[in-house]
Amino acid sequence: MSENLTSPEADVQPGRDRREPMFPGGPAADPAGSHHERRIRSFQPRRSRVTTGQGDALRRLWSRWGLDIDGLRPLDLGELFGDPNLPVVLEIGFGMGEATAQMAAADPGTGILACDVHTPGQGNLLGLAERNGLNNVRVANGDAIILLREMLAPDSLAGIRVYFPDPWPKARHHKRRLIQPEFLALAATRLAPGALLHCATDWEPYAEQMLEVLTASPDFENTHPDGGFAPRPEFRPLTRFEGQGLDKGHVVHDLLFRRKAS
């Protein structure tokens, strides 16, 4: 299975207010609250426990490097990263954050706004950022669609990365797949002209759908000369999850599309 975004409800304990942080000063359980209750979520709920180290990182570092996606205010990326000239890439769904940390370490001149709702992964990435001195990582808790639509300014992103999103293999669930024409239209408004949208998946039918909708989008152009899938670029690390899939004979497809100039 692919690495999944997970629902905020997965971490809510019985009787707990869904917007109340699980950790003092940490991420909210459901930052968007009731005003976004009816939205279709493109991530799969699953439960897992937060380790002592992850919880400690959430308590200590969230106020410095974390933010809740509440859809109530615009986000100033220059202020968030402490550098108005820093190019910022949005990563949607980062699992436990190992690959994110590797990319941040390899490219300190780029900010990574890493979005997920999996509390253990948030804590793990914050801990990795602290241990490795990665000042160019920020962790966003909540729905990436709300972040893009309601909190980010037009042309503000230097790139968007979507690695191994939930494939939603059943036909009746295909509407929940993230890479759809509506998402691409929204993403294009937040990407700067020439910025890259980079997707990767090990699910063949989803890869074909990604290629189809990206190719049909009037806002993007394929960077691969033959118009198909691209080889894995050096800046995307080979993750442990991906290595396990390759050992099982899975084929991973990368798609690198550039936002067209207006």
Q: How far apart are CA 200 and CA 188, in angstroms?
A: 18
Annotated binding residue 70: no
Other beta carbons within 10 Å of 104 = 25
Q: Quote the CA–CA distance of 210 and 205 in Å, as a whole number.
A: 9
Q: Sort 254 into a burial class: Cβ within 10 Å, 0-12 / 13-18 / 19+.
A: middle
Report whether 247 belongs to an annotated binding site: no
241 annotated ligand-binding residue = yes
- Asked if residue 116 belongs to a known ligand binding site, the reply is yes
- Residue 189 annotated in ligand binding: no
SS3 at position 7: coil
Active site (catalytic) residues: 166
Q: Is 242 annotated as a binding residue?
A: yes
Could you write out the DSSP letters of every residue in 136-154?
Answer: TEEEEES-HHHIIIIIS-T
**Which residues contribute to the annotated binding site for substrate?**
170, 202, 239-242
**Which residues contribute to the annotated binding site for S-adenosyl-L-methionine?**
91, 116, 143, 166
**Which residues contribute to the annotated binding site?**
91, 116, 143, 166, 170, 202, 239-242
